[in-house]
């Protein structure tokens, strides 16, 4: 693990090899039972995504949780490095993130292109970025500094658009300019793009999607809901958002430059009370792996190369 004060060479960040498909794991007993059920059903899980916020009081607990999911390649879903804020995280926060990322198998850390507060005060939510030149440069500078703070890359995730634009860039235009300026990858959240429609129906999500450089997409988030609940007309919007995300993933996979490390399913779609049925998740994991051209043997080989 790299300490906060260690001076070290500036590494170059590269996209890890294609692993396949996985899902966002919540650190609760129900998710461990869910994972065990997936394995009983013969599901092939190539990668796990953990949330840094679940290990605030005990970062070392991640090692135990990770062992319970079989020590798979994994990624950290975070907001605590505060890439959109002039204020920097507390040294204790940085040390905790470094301890989390030091658990073997971490491929990269995904950080929202958003503001989350100041060094001392968390806002309680992800604040939509302004899209200004000045703020874009702050993101780039903070990501450049992260090369000395972590032994694995930080990549940037697009945020839902919930407010009017202030600067000249839309959310995804700013993500593009940050990723290019900091020479890092993009976590393309189709979930967040779909969610924007609930707040700002005028947002053209196809246009937003089109500004993201395909060759910089390291990971894709796809919403996945409970099929039984989707039959309820009350969740018609969730169903349509999910269908759009799955169609979009299929179109992306046709692009010759689209070679993400993983497709990660968010198995409890926003606005629904239950996770997707394990059988459905198993089938969608296999579908995504097929789209990426990943076989069980090649996924195992890639995992060994990435750890």
DSSP string for residues in 126-187:
EEPP---HHHHHHHHHHHHHHHHH-SS-EEEEPPPP-S---SS--HHHHHHHHHHHHT--EE
Note the pLDDT of residue 302.
46
Longest dimension (CA), the chain: 57
**Beta strand 122-127 pairing with 115-117:** antiparallel
For 291, the enclosing helix (H) or strand (E) is: helix 278-292
For 263, the enclosing helix (H) or strand (E) is: strand 262-266
HSE at residue 22, side-chain half, CA atoms within 13 A, is: 24
Stretch 250-272: mean pLDDT:
94
Tens of pLDDT along 44-79? 999 999 999 899 889 999 999 999 999 999 999 998
Task: Report how far residue 235's alpha carbon sits from residue 107's, in angstroms, rounded to the nearest whole number.
Answer: 34
190 pLDDT higher than 70: yes
Residues facing 25 on adjacent strands: 50
Note the pLDDT of residue 95.
95
Nearest of 283, 287, 298, 285 to residue 250 by alpha carbon: 287
Contact status, residue 232 vs residue 275, Cβ threshold 8 Å:
no
What share of the chain in percent tops pLDDT 70? 89
Task: Report how far residue 213's alpha carbon sits from residue 193's, in angstroms, rounded to the nearest whole number.
Answer: 16
Phi, psi of 86 (to 5 degrees): -65, -40
18 pLDDT higher than 50: yes
Q: What is the DSSP string of 270-289?
A: TT-SSPPPHHHHHHHHHHHH
């Amino acid at each position: 693990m790299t300490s906060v004060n260690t001076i070290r060479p500036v590494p170059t960040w590269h996209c890890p090899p294609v692993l396949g498909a996985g899902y966002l794991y919540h650190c609760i007993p129900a998710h461990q039972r869910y994972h065990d059920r997936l394995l009983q059903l013969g599901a092939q899980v190539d990668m796990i995504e953990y949330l840094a916020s679940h290990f605030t009081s005990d970062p070392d607990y991640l090692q135990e949780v990770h062992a319970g999911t079989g020590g798979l390649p994994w990624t950290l879903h975070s907001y605590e490095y505060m890439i959109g804020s002039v204020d920097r995280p507390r040294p204790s926060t940085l040390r905790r993130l470094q301890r989390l990322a030091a658990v073997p198998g971490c491929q990269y850390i995904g950080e929202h292109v958003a503001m989350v507060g100041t060094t001392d005060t968390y806002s309680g939510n992800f604040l939509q970025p302004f899209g200004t030149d000045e703020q874009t440069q702050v993101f780039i500078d903070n990501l450049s500094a992260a090369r000395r703070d972590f032994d694995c890359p930080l990549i940037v995730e697009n945020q839902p658009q919930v407010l009017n634009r202030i600067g000249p860039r839309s959310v995804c235009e700013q993500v593009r300019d940050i990723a290019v300026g900091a020479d890092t990858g993009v976590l393309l959240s189709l979930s967040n793009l779909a969610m924007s429609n609930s707040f700002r129906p005028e947002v053209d999500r196809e246009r937003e999607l089109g500004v993201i450089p395909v060759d910089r997409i390291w990971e894709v988030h796809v919403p996945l809901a409970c099929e039984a609940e989707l039959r309820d007309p009350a969740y018609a919007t969730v169903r349509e958002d999910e269908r759009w995300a799955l169609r979009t993933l299929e179109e992306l996979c046709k692009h010759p430059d689209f070679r993400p490390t993983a497709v990660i399913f968010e198995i409890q779609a926003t606005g629904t009370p239950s996770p997707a049925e394990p059988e459905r998740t198993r089938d969608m994991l296999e579908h995504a792996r097929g789209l990426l051209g990943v076989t069980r043997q090649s996924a195992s080989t890639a995992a060994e190369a990435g750890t």
